[in-house]
Amino acid sequence: MATLAATAGLWKWFGQKWVEQRLAVRLEKFKTEQQKELERLRHLLSSRVSKIHEKEFEVLPEAWRKLHELYGWILHALDLTFKPMLRDMTDEDLEEFMRTAPASHLSESQKETLRKSSDRAHSYNEMKLSNDMDIANDKQRQFTNYLIENRIFMTEDLRAKFETVQAAFISALTSYDTGKRAGAWEMQTSGQMTMSRENLQGLVDQVERAIQRRLRYDEA
């Protein structure tokens, strides 16, 4: 009986050790698999973050370029740019003038009207402002669509700064265009004041600094 009890005890001990060993093997295998999964997830996350940052280097400079392009066209559309001295131009000077921007944007019929006008300065300004307003509105739509399509690649701070400038642009264009159509000088002036350096340049500068910080411009 003692021998049988000892044998049973020995088998129990071996059985326990076998179970413990199997559990240890399975546990080690589980840990290895978990580690591999964690590494896979880390790599996937790192890859996605890297792709987002790569997209930022594409999106932010393009958004900045579109902002400045729109800024320039709005200044033209709101009659805030230098006016050429058309009254003092010879016919030859006028032809050369119409071959360069922004006069080159006039249609051929508009250019012919300008050639025949008794008040070239007034005619040119009216035609130019109408063309420039159309172009500015089109650039505004392009800028707005670009921000909508790519806002996911911008930080919340950058989105807010871009949208603040965008709102100012829309306000200026709408106010000036509506005022001009209605003959309301106050609305036209309000639009021009929105685009003044004192009111807008500070907002544009904030966007520039935010982009430079995001792209680590100072480390380049």
DSSP letters for 54-81: HHHHHHHHHHHHHHHHHHHHHHHHTT-S
The tens digit of pLDDT for each residue in 112-154 reads: 998 999 898 889 888 888 899 999 999 999 999 999 999 889 9
- CA quadruple 118, 120, 122, 127: dihedral positive or negative? positive
The tens digit of pLDDT for each residue in 45-70 reads: 454 545 656 788 899 999 999 999 99
User: Residues 36, 40, 42, CA angle at the centre, nearest 5°?
Assistant: 115
Does pTM surpass 0.75? Answer: no
Separation of alpha carbons 184 and 186, rounded Å: 5
Separation of alpha carbons 86 and 65, rounded Å: 31
Task: Supply 62's token pair.
Answer: 């393009």
Residue 86 φ/ψ region, left for φ over 0, alpha for ψ in the -120 to 50 degree band, beta for the rest: alpha
Separation of alpha carbons 103 and 131, rounded Å: 10
CA atoms within 13 A on the CB side of 44: 6
198 secondary structure, DSSP code: I
Separation of alpha carbons 165 and 204, rounded Å: 7
Backbone angles phi, psi at 79, to 5 degrees: 60, 45
The tens digit of pLDDT for each residue in 86-121 reads: 888 899 999 998 998 778 888 899 999 989 998 988
Using an 8 Å Cβ cutoff, are 59 and 154 in contact? yes
